[in-house]
Structure 1
Amino acid sequence: MFGDNQKQNVSTGAVAVQAGNDVNIIHNGLSYSEVRDVALDVFRANFLQLAGPAMETAKARAEEITEDFLKKLQEENPSGFGKGQDPDFQHALFTVQREYARSGDKDLGDLLIDLLVDRSKQDQRDILQIVLNESLATAPKLTDSHLAVLALKFLFQYTQNFGIGNHQLLGEYFDKYALPFSSKLVKNQACFQHLEFTGCGSIQMGESSLEAILDHFYGGQFFKGFDQSEIAARKISIGLDENFFMTCLNDPSKIQVRANNATQLQNTLNDKNINDEDQEKILALFNIEKMSNLEIRETCISIRPFMQDIFDAWSNSSMKSFTLTSVGMAIGHANIKRFVGEFASLSIWIN
């Protein structure tokens, strides 16, 4: 391994509520049951009137999504109950209720809940709040295939996992973050045209292959290795220091630099106060005997065969030249979070 780097009609400006029998949590004057009453009052006041059973279905779905949202809000951000008095947040909540009442799609409902919980954490009108509001309106326009594209583009092109130190951990990373989306990808152009139409991204002139992206962030997983004699031949004064060298992951008869990428290596060199001359020589070793793109692809597929589908979709569609907007990032982030439970704060990328 590479070391330690491992969610009633009211007059304007007012809120009418009636508490239920049980008050579990109180924040800023509103309890769980009070927020629930406000939320359902908002839905009843704003949702169009449907005929017969359709209206009953819509009401049942609105109650379901509201309960699910409040449960998750109670778990992740209890202070968000205070948002029940905020007109903009009421509008965001109604957007979730309306879209789920229309579709009844459980996966979409879970995604919208994750986005709304994130929205509940924003206390002021800033770019992240605006992006999350827009994401709540955009996500219902997307299919599972669109959502899979956004998740994988966000994962591989915009994030980096610092805990990957060997092929086992790389495989576990693929299992956790990529496998849930691997079978949902499509290669038709209409997919990416629709993502452009909805404001999730754009097709650029240039290309970024998945192999090159993996090499950039996790290049240490794809070295061919070099002979130990290179250390002496290059007159590296610290010798075979285990902080910087290790047995090659792809050829046990050789060694490699202990780092996934040049930035990580440079930081370690600085932290260990390595002299400038040795730093230059070790950085040079990092750039020799590297796998080609084809070899990187083959290595990843040998670790996890399902990666074949992802490489194929990426290289044989506009996925390779598609870049995400802030809305695309927010939806991709929420889709990953829907499957893995925990993920870094969206504010890292949108601020």
Structure 2
Amino acid sequence: MAWLRQRGGDGAQLIQAQSVNYGISVQDAEHICLKLMQENLARYSQEAFDVARERVEEFAVNYLTELNKQAPESISNLKDPGVQSAVLDAESGFAKSGDEDLGEVLVEMLVTRTLGTDRNVLQLALNEGISVAQKLTSKHLAALSLVFFFKNLQANPTDTESLMGQIRSLIQPVCADFENFTDSDSRYLVATGCAVQSIATVSWQEVMKQRYPGIYHRGFRPAETPSMEKILKEIEDPNAAASLFVMADEEFYKVNAITKESAKTLGETAGLTDTSSLIELMTHNPIPEAEISDALKREIPEFSSFLDAWQTLGFDSFDLSLTGIVVAHANMRRLAKDAFGARIGVWIN
């Protein structure tokens, strides 16, 4: 979303020159979004009151505009006490700082929160995310999104080039905010409940090998792999059989897929009743971790500081909580924009 700096004066309608159809009047929407903060603002000094009110008006414009764009029928949910509580919390957070980056993250979560009134895990995680995001700086948001990419996100590339393109689109906008992240910041994320540290550790290179085995394994030699011949014999259609494997080079063959999920689909389409042997072939001869590291840093130099910090700052043992996931997701939506359209319901339902 593009952050709007439009504000309303006393009695002015905040949404101007826009097509709005909320199901309740614009005046009602203004009343809910602005009057909710009136009691809180009354405690401020006059100067602080004026600044905070302007920020609340600015936040309301962006929230209602985005809600109207995504789900105008859900504006009626603003009458729900739970939604109003979330609106008040988000407005209060933006009023304190006026940070536009935080505002966009809060709007992303608040719009999703407004879509439903059922009390469920997603609603609770969004409520907590709205509260916790206010306690984080840009580098904390960046770290959560970068860990989210490795630990929770599965891209769907067709080859190495497309994977690098997807990583650039998703990650490059995030990397700049990660600068100057320290061990104290890492421990602070755990303290806020956005992440937990487990005993088990995993290198980011191992994560990439697990998620994209078709890219980060060299392949197999047919003479040393009896299962290849067994797989081919199971398939009656020679054209379907030929689609399963490709030559990686003069020595190695590879399964004609990048992810385990795509290999499973490939095998089932070809007529395999059991695709486990095909998937197992994808993991032969893994590329050394140092080589994976050098290649990714060469392709995306901006990624280097985070990759180098993976172990030293404890990200190798990080697992995001549901709160961390909703905040990381909202921040990635803010920065990656159209390159990342997945809704939070993919991860929390």
TM-score > 0.5, shorter chain as reference: yes
**2:101 alignment partner, SS class:** helix
Quote the Cα distance in structure 2 between the aligned partners of 1:137 and 1:87: 17
**Aligned equivalent of 1:299, options 282, 295, 314:** 295
Is the 2:219–2:281 contact (alpha carbons within 8 Å) kept by the matching residues of 1?
no
Quote the Cα distance in structure 2 between the aligned partners of 1:327 and 1:148: 15
The residue that corresponds to 2:113 in the other structure is 119
**2:271 alignment partner, SS class:** coil
**1:256 alignment partner, SS class:** strand
The residue that corresponds to 2:95 in the other structure is 101
Aligned residues: CA RMSD: 2.7
The residue that corresponds to 2:168 in the other structure is 175
The residue that corresponds to 1:157 in the other structure is 151
Q: Does 1:287 align with 2:280?
A: no
Distance 1:209 1:121, change over 3 A: same
Distance 1:91 1:255, change over 3 A: same
Q: Does 1:68 align with 2:62?
A: yes
**2:196 alignment partner, SS class:** strand
> What stretches of structure 1 of length at least 5 have no aligned partner?
1-17
**2:36 alignment partner, SS class:** helix
Deviations, residues 234-256 of structure 1 (Å, cap 9, x unaligned): 534367945222343xx587542
Shift of 1:38: 2.2
The residue that corresponds to 1:332 in the other structure is 328
Shift of 1:187: 5.0
Identity, in percent, stands at 25
The number of aligned residues is 328
**2:319 alignment partner, SS class:** strand
Distance 1:252 1:305, change over 3 A: farther
Deviations, residues 265-308 of structure 1 (Å, cap 9, x unaligned): 233212321365xx566445323222122222222223322232
1:86-235 alignment runs, 5 A limit: 86-162=80-156, 164-185=157-178, 186-226=180-220, 235=229
Quote the Cα distance in structure 2 between the aligned partners of 1:58 and 1:19: 17
Shift of 1:339: 1.5
Quote the Cα distance in structure 1 between the aligned partners of 2:190 and 2:279: 40
Shift of 1:231: 8.1
Quote the Cα distance in structure 2 between the aligned partners of 1:281 and 1:128: 37
Quote the Cα distance in structure 2 between the aligned partners of 1:165 and 1:300: 17
Distance 1:72 1:232, change over 3 A: same
Q: Which moved more, 1:89-98 or 1:108-117?
A: 89-98
**Aligned equivalent of 1:271, options 269, 272, 294:** 269
The residue that corresponds to 1:243 in the other structure is 243
Q: Does 1:313 align with 2:306?
A: no
Is the 1:265–1:283 contact (alpha carbons within 8 Å) kept by the matching residues of 2?
yes
Quote the Cα distance in structure 1 between the aligned partners of 2:153 and 2:325: 11
Is the 1:147–1:331 contact (alpha carbons within 8 Å) kept by the matching residues of 2?
yes
Quote the Cα distance in structure 1 between the aligned partners of 2:273 and 2:111: 48
1:248-259 alignment runs, 5 A limit: 248=248, 251=249, 254-259=252-257
Quick one: which amino acid aligns to residue 331 of structure 2? N
Quote the Cα distance in structure 2 between the aligned partners of 1:99 and 1:284: 49
Quote the Cα distance in structure 2 between the aligned partners of 1:215 and 1:284: 13
Q: Which moved more, 1:73-82 or 1:38-47?
A: 38-47
The residue that corresponds to 2:6 in the other structure is none
Quick one: which amino acid aligns to residue 316 of structure 2? K
Quote the Cα distance in structure 2 between the aligned partners of 1:253 and 1:138: 53
Quick one: which amino acid aligns to residue 245 of structure 2? F
Distance 1:138 1:281, change over 3 A: closer
